[in-house]
Amino acid sequence: MSHRHPCPCCGHLVLDEMPGSYEICPVCFREDDGVQFRWPTMAGEANKISLIEAPRNHQDIGACDQHSRQFVRPPTVDEPLDPAWRPIDLARDSLPTYWRRDHS
């Protein structure tokens, strides 16, 4: 088995590539969006909700968002939760601020 990386949303070791690879997690069905990995409060891009909200949804409903519930599955034995993973905590984690400029 190759070295797996944790999904930034659910923390299970399911990704074959480093974060930002745009793989879809089979456990929470979140697309591993590199833009949202850098700016986790931003909604849009590959996912409709932010990387802050998605782990809460996964904990509450078992998927990154309501629509994705039909596509998820439980983790397999070889997809454990990464012991070092935790949801992003804005009070604890230092993240760059994302802002859009008006270019009109």
Residue 102 predicted with pLDDT over 80:
no
Which DSSP symbol is given to 50?
Answer: -
Instruction: Count how many domains the chain has.
Output: 1
State the average pLDDT over residues 41-53. Answer: 90
- Cα–Cα distance between 85 and 62 in angstroms, integer? 17
Q: Does residue 89 fall inside a structural domain?
A: no
> CB within 8 A of 94, min separation 6: which ones?
none
Phi, psi of 34, deg, nearest 5: -65, -30
Q: What is the pLDDT of residues 67-91, one digit of tens each?
A: 999 999 999 999 999 999 999 888 8
Q: Does residue 24 fall inside a structural domain?
A: yes
pTM beyond 0.75, yes or no? yes
- Cα–Cα distance between 2 and 87 in angstroms, integer? 24
Q: Does residue 19 fall inside a structural domain?
A: yes
Q: Does residue 53 fall inside a structural domain?
A: yes
Domain carrying residue 58: 5-71
Q: Does residue 99 fall inside a structural domain?
A: no
Q: Three-state SS for 14?
A: strand
Instruction: Please check whether residue 25 is in contact with residue 14, taking contact to mean a CB–CB distance below 8 angstroms.
Output: yes
